[in-house]
Amino acid sequence: MEIYRNLSNDIHRENDFPAVITDNMIQYALNGRLHRANGPAVITASGCKMYYWKGVFIEEDMFLARNTMTAAEILSIPNAEIRRCFVEMKGFAKFIKEANAKILDSNKETGAVLYKVDMPDDDSREPLVVVKVFDGTIHEDENGKPYRKEYFLRVPPKTKTCNEAIAWTFDMPEKEYRELEKET
């Protein structure tokens, strides 16, 4: 293929992800692992395409169906590592809503909510536990209405409270976080 010869051993960027282009292939990577969110991470000169998500190989038919898979279909994926990739692809917000996540805790003052989704038997010792938090910065939408961005952060599976979850994201004990929260 002419594109490979013309760009041999060059580095190209697509959506801020570097791609290494050689005579034989194009490889996209993120943090040193093959990865491409919107297409094949490896394309060979012969036209072979391989799909990867954060270093994990995903079969082409599965990858191409990623945007239409339901939470139930994702939970039925037999490989726990590939299942984790599809949860990330769907996004925690959509996944926990579709999977009817259990609410473990909520904080009316901050709006934080701690969710849990039990995983299939092969991964049952590590449920998906996610805390929804809000950005402290107030933004305005196109109509000038104020809002705060919401984020969903995965936390350790044994987490029981929103404060414990948020404290973990700052690498501090819950007690220290509560004291810091009182000061602000």
Q: How many folded domains does the chain comprise?
A: 2
**Model pLDDT, residue 14:** 52
Residue 7 has pLDDT above 70, yes or no: no
Residues 108 and 174 in one domain: yes
In a domain, 56, yes or no: yes
Q: Is residue 50 part of a domain?
A: yes
Q: Which of 64, 81, 113 is the last residue of a domain?
A: 64
Q: List, for residues 40-55, the tens digit of each pLDDT value.
A: 999 998 999 999 999 9
Residues 96 and 163 in one domain: yes
| DSSP-assigned states of every residue in 87-132 | HHHH-HHHHHHHTTPEEEEE-TTT--EEEEEPPPGGGTTS-EEEEE
Question: Domain for residue 80, yes or no?
Answer: no
User: Does some domain include residue 55?
Assistant: yes
* Parent domain of 35: 2-64
Same domain for 59 and 10: yes
In a domain? residue 16: yes
166 DSSP 8-state letter:
H
Q: Domain check: are 171 and 104 in the same one?
A: yes
Looking at the structure, do residues 110 and 157 belong to the same domain, yes or no? yes
Residues 6+ apart with CB under 8 A from 85: 53, 54, 56, 58
pLDDT value of position 122 = 74
pLDDT tens column, 76-92: 999 999 999 999 999 99
What is the spatial distance between Cα 44 and Cα 117, in angstroms, rounded to a whole number? 39
For β-strands 150-155 and 128-134, DSSP reports them as antiparallel
The Cα 34–Cα 52 span in angstroms is: 6
**pLDDT reported for residue 153:** 96
**Is residue 35 a contact partner of residue 29, using CB atoms and an 8 Å limit?**
yes
> pLDDT for 98-152, tens place per residue?
999 999 999 998 899 999 999 887 777 889 999 999 998 999 999 999 999 999 9
Instruction: Check residue 3 and give its pLDDT.
Output: 39
Assess whether 122 and 167 both reside in one domain: yes
Considering the domain architecture, whether residues 54 and 121 belong to the same structural domain is answered as no
